[in-house]
Structure 1
Amino acid sequence: MKARVHVMLKDGVLDPQGEAVRHALGHLGFGGVEAVRQGKVIELDLAGTDKAAAEAEVREMCEKLLANTVIEKYTIEIA
């Protein structure tokens, strides 16, 4: 079973890396980009077959390690 975790900064948290990307895109001629938010995707290969248990385990991983829940939000996909 595979899990994919999308981690993004929460709304209202400054994203200097995203702003740098937006600025660079403008210099490359992509002037229509008004904002960029950068995040990360984490893919996990899981041994279990119980989708609900896998989601609960991945949620615990996010809370303990994969996301800084003070400034980041995350979503989980189980496939």
Structure 2
Amino acid sequence: MSVWLGRVTVVLKASVNDPQGLAVLDGLHAMGHSEVEQVRVGKHLDVRLQADSSEQAKERLRQMCDALLANTLIETYTVELGAPEEAAE
């Protein structure tokens, strides 16, 4: 069994208003960064988990996102995997 580093990124769907992103955008404009057109705020999670394969690790991460890590009514998520490490026995 290997240990995988899962990287999960969760963001609001494009159709959902992002008041935190708008506040950051306003702040950047107030600081003189007028070139910034849009800011969307999300969250990034690093999850270390044991799995037999990359497919199994990704599926477990998707299950975690669907059940807890993301509100799939208003958020989308992506799952990426880092290189596996051998689990310490």
Same-fold call, TM cutoff 0.5: yes
Q: Please name the residue that 1:60 is paired with.
A: 63
Give the aligned CA root-mean-square deviation in angstroms: 0.8
Q: Structure 1 residue runs of 4+, over 2 Å off?
A: none
- Cα distance in 2 for partners of 1:57, 1:5 equals 12
Q: CA deviation at 1:48?
A: 2.3
Establish whether residue 44 from structure 1 lines up as the match of residue 47 from structure 2.
yes
Percent sequence identity over matched residues?
A: 44
Larger strand fraction of residues: 2
Aligned partner of 2:12 among 3, 6, 9: 9
* Whole-angstrom distance in 2 between the partners of 1:15 and 1:4: 22
Does 1:75 find its partner at 2:78? yes
Unaligned runs of 5+ in 1: none
Q: Partner letter of residue 53 of structure 1? A: Q
- Matched with 1:33 is 36
Q: Work out the CA distance in 2 between the residues paired with 1:52 and 1:58.
A: 10
Q: Pick from 3, 19, 28: which aligns with 2:22?
A: 19
TM-score, normalisation: structure 2: 0.85
